[in-house]
Chain A
Amino acid sequence: MASLPPIDLPPGATGAGAFDAQAAETDGGVLFDHLLRLGDDSLILGQRLGEWTGHAPSVEVDLSLANIALDLIGQATHFLNYAGEIEGKGRDGDALAFHRDVLDFRNCWLVEQPNGDFAQTMARQLLFSTWQKSLFEALKGSADRTISAVAEKAVKEVSYHQELAAEWVIRLGDGTDESRRRMQDGLDWMWRFVPELFDMDEATAFLAARGIGADVAALRADYDRRIDAVLAEATLDRPRDQRPILGGRRGHHSEHLGHLLCTMQFLPRTYPDATW
């Protein structure tokens, strides 16, 4: 999509003053960091979808949302456990999920956005799952065999998420005046977080060059086509491009993430000696 260019930094600059500045140091290596990005995306979105349980527009939709959440929590478990292995400091997926603070989370801004109404939730799902599907398609060929195995399994799950979200966006977009307005609002809210998904920072480029990670920038043209096709069928307007908001991959997040973590991490944090 023709959004505004990301904020480019001269090579080697620490970007003092910029919100989405490159972090000065990373503590576990670039592969560890990459696995956190994959795992945290799934974890945080799974957590968000879990908030819907018992409150969806129909019992059937409740079941659908829980299925998506379960797939995502499963992906997060694989990626974060593997991240712990790569780090080699004895942390497992649970330690990483429940004992890191905002600055150490590597998920994108899109997944931490609040559920809002069902339209906003579906806007987030379409924009994320469409990307995640292309990403996992690419990662199936990863030189890292654990990543490729997880991607191989997860791509089927994510295809379903993408299709379901697309069907809902189409129905809400082309439904009633009210649903159309809500759907458009939901998309407009989420739109500024899309460029972050395709941001080729140094770490991404490094892993892509070694065949471990994906060249995310290359996924963009296909993504635009897929999103445009859904929006056209939904008779929705493509939102106007907004200044991209970046920073999640470096631990700089929205205010929402801290609150999400408060809830999610409350038990292991309050009772650090307990086994559950």
Chain B
Amino acid sequence: MAQDWPLWEVFVRSRGGLSHRHVGSVHAPDPEIALRHARDTYTRRMEGISLWVVPSAQIVASDPADDAAMFDPAADKVYRHPTFYSIPDDVTHI
């Protein structure tokens, strides 16, 4: 047997105050080694201060075929945005 290890998705927080961002993946046999591999692969140039690894098989993604049903209905809800409302210029702090 000469198999490869399972795939993990890697997320890096580049500095305090920012959220973790997906950067790529690594192969690893288990969570601890996955973290080591993620560290040794994706943070060699001070790219991060925190790491997440998630088994790729555990990621649930939306289907691009459903894009229209998933995301288009948000398009006409303009009243969710502050620019929808007109307030006279001389009214301030609002």
Residues of A within 8 A of B (CB): 58-60, 63-64, 67, 164, 167, 171
Complex partner residue of B33 from A59, A63, A67, A171, CB under 8 angstroms: A171
- How far does the alpha carbon of A67 sit from the alpha carbon of B39 in the complex, in Å? 10
For the A-B complex, the count of residue pairs with Cβ-Cβ distances under 8 Å equals 26
19 A-B pairs whose Cβ atoms sit less than 8 Å apart in the complex:
A58-B4, A58-B5, A58-B27, A59-B27, A60-B26, A60-B27, A60-B28, A60-B41, A63-B40, A63-B44, A64-B36, A64-B37, A64-B40, A164-B36, A167-B33, A167-B36, A171-B29, A171-B30, A171-B33
B side interface size, CB within 8 A: 14
Cβ contacts under 8 Å, B40 to chain A: 60, 63-64, 67
B interface residues, Cβ below 8 angstroms from A: 4-5, 26-30, 32-33, 36-37, 40-41, 44
Contact A63 B37 (CB under 8 A): yes
CA distance A58 to B5 in the complex (A): 9
A67 touches B44 (CB 8 A): yes
Query: Which A residues are CB-close (under 8 A) to B29?
Result: 171
The 5 closest A-B pairs by CB, nearest first: A60-B37, A63-B40, A64-B40, A67-B40, A63-B41
A58 and B29 alpha carbons, distance in the complex (Å): 11
Q: A43: shortest Cβ distance to chain B, in Å?
A: 21
**CB of B57 to closest CB in A, whole Å:** 18
A51 vs B30: C-alpha distance in the bound complex, in angstroms? 26
Known: A64-B37, A171-B29. 18 other contacts (CB 8 A): A58-B4, A58-B5, A58-B27, A59-B27, A60-B26, A60-B28, A60-B37, A60-B41, A63-B37, A63-B40, A63-B41, A64-B36, A64-B40, A67-B40, A167-B33, A167-B36, A171-B30, A171-B33
Chain B residue at smallest Cβ distance from A163: B36
The residue on B at minimum CB distance from A61 is: B37
Chain A residues with CB below 8 A from B41, complex form: 60, 63
Contacts of A67 in B (CB 8 A): 40, 44
Can you name the residue of chain B whose Cβ is closest to the Cβ of A60?
B37
> When chains A and B are docked, how far (Å) is the Cα of A171 from the Cα of B26?
18
Closest partner residue, chain A, to B26 (CB atom):
A60
A39 to B40, CA, bound (A): 24
Complex Cα distance, B39 from A105, in Å, reads: 34
List, in ascending order, chain A residues with CB within 8 A of B32's CB: 167
CA distance A227 to B45 in the complex (A): 32
Contacts of B37 in A (CB 8 A): 60, 63-64
Q: Determine how close the nearest CB of chain A comes to the CB of B37; give it in whole angstroms.
A: 4
Contacts of A64 in B (CB 8 A): 36-37, 40
Nearest-CB residue, chain A, relative to B38: A60
**Chain A nearest Cβ from B48, distance in angstroms:** 14
Closest Cβ of chain A to B3, distance in Å, is 11
User: CA of A99 to CA of B3 in the docked complex: distance in angstroms?
Assistant: 45
Residues of A within 8 A of B30 (CB): 171
